[in-house]
A and B are shown apart, each in its own frame.
Chain A
Amino acid sequence: MAFRTASVVALGFVVGPALWLIVGVIARAVPHWRWNVLTTVPLGNGGGLENALLGTLVIMAGVLVLAGTVGVLAGIHFAELARPKRNGRAGSSSLRVASEVLSGFPSIVLGYVGYVALCVGLHWGFSLLPALLILSLMVVPYIAKSTESALRQVPTSYREGADALGMATGYALRKVVIRSAMPGIVTGVLIALSIAGGETAPLLYTAGITNSLPSSALVHQPIAYLTYYVWTDYNQPSAQAHNLSYDAALILIVLVLILLVSARVIVYRTQRHSESRR
């Protein structure tokens, strides 16, 4: 009984702040909400957030492609290919150590490294490419880890069944193993995306900021993002700027919710034939 009470209290600690946060942002943003925030760029203390919204979407799409590919492949490597044959234990390849060290790095340090190495070192300036590389570097270990654990949870009986039918290892991996690990992989990638979308520190160092809309330029062209306005406009001494700050927060929350809902939908669709859903 005590255990039950404790877990309900713990649940409250998780759900409470989340609700408080969402309700707080909505209550402050919705009363003054105007749709043209989505279609205009900042002007003085007012204007809209179109540049930042599009910038964040571009950054998220870039991270999805870059970190999604690298992270999922790394996870497959850890779970399936780097698995030592002799003792059956998880190996500690140098790649895995590197990945774990990387995931422990404070994001602002990564941002600074990006600034020094890419923006200054390679003369790329504040721009999309260094921002993408640094954000991807930040979430790749997370994606690799979640992919790896999703693959490790695939029942041995699926692998044995595939082996016994004479499926080639790679074929079985694609058609049977990854398919049943898909929900875990997708959830990991989408959560990583929302982490990337909500990052500020590395972007301050790499993306710069601009009032203009994202262009097709990868380098030499700063790019805007929502989190910048959440912080900067909140510190402006004007109600108009405060409103924009809450608008940016609301848009971010909606984006993250959309990601989480899509994760659920994808999980539902890919798991129509799963063992857990009879």
Chain B
Amino acid sequence: MVDEVMRSTQRPEVIDATLAALDPDRDRPPSVMEVDSLTLRFGEKTILSDVSVAFPRGTVTALIGPTGSGKSTFLRTLNRMNDRVSGFRHDGDVTLDGVSVWAPHQDLLSVRRRVGMLFQRPNPFPMSIRDNVVAGVKAHGIAKGRQLDVVAETRLREVGLWDAVKDRLGESPFRLSGGQQQLLCLARALAVGPEMLLLDEPTSSLDPGSTESVENLMRQLTPALTLIVVTHNLGQARRVSQSTILFYDGRLIEHGATSELFDAPRDPRTQRYVNGLMG
């Protein structure tokens, strides 16, 4: 009987079916986030025009483009960080698991919990290292008391910071190096259990060593998470992403597999940008 079961479960179609049934994301759309003809204005100024793109679950997408091309604004729209900017108006939609992030019944706080963010400059809070990691966890009531210490240790280990800070969890985060501060912010973002992470030039203020650890982490975080990273570092886009999007003047110019976009760009502007002929 046991043998029979063992044999039957070794058949590929059974294994695939079993795996598919076990996949926690099986009932969800293949794209965790979809942007549908998004046009965005601050007052009279149009920042983004008619951007449509889907972010497949468990992938890293790089957003590249010259300064002022709208890629950071685009990123900050995805977790509604732009809502409070004066004159913010939008047409089109951004959906998270098929539900608009602006839907009336959509809870902004839970959108932001599910879509985490890492900023250009590390921004730890003025509290101890441990309290920084669990700040979001406490805010959402995910854990409390002794559990918080476990969360802190787990997340600090996850980002590879534990050994460096385990003896000074009660100390100020501002004594850490810039790279360590950024990893701490990453631990803080991961602690609330997001499905996506938006990274806004996460390594532009870091030294090469810290940049490498952040990039390694980005690779490890997929496919559990979906990552979107804005970067001016084309090498980084090549190293970490599966697909790349070029923004130019508020428009999505080209979107494709990273290797294709870099090696065989279709649009002349993409060609000039990836070859360093355009800032």
Contact = CB atoms under 8 A, between A and B. Distances in A.
A278 B174 contact: yes
B174 A166 contact: no
Range for the number of chain A residues in contact with chain B? 20 to 34
Most buried by A among B123, B138, B189: B123
17 contacts: A88-B86, A155-B123, A161-B123, A161-B124, A165-B135, A166-B110, A166-B139, A166-B140, A167-B135, A172-B139, A179-B127, A180-B126, A272-B172, A273-B172, A273-B174, A274-B126, A278-B172
Interface in B112-147: 112-113, 116-117, 119, 121, 123-128, 135-136, 138-140
B192 A166 contact: yes
B186 to A, nearest CB: 12
B172 A158 contact: no
Contacts of B192: 165-166
B160 to A, nearest CB: 21
Interface in A157-177: 157-158, 160-168, 171-172, 175-176
| Most chain A Cβ neighbours within 10 Å, of B119, B121, B125 | B125
B206 interface: no
B40 to A, nearest CB: 17
A168 to B, nearest CB: 6
A162 B84 CA distance: 14
Contacts of B172: 272-274, 277-278
A165 B127 contact: no
A86 interface: yes
Interface size grouping (class) on chain B: 35 or more
B123 A157 contact: yes
Interface string A259-271: 0000000000001
Given A165-B188, A168-B109, A277-B172, A160 B119 contact: yes
A94 interface: no
Given A87-B86, A165-B113, A277-B172, 4 more contacts: A88-B86, A160-B123, A163-B112, A166-B113
A86 B174 contact: no
A266 to B, nearest CB: 15
B136 A163 contact: no
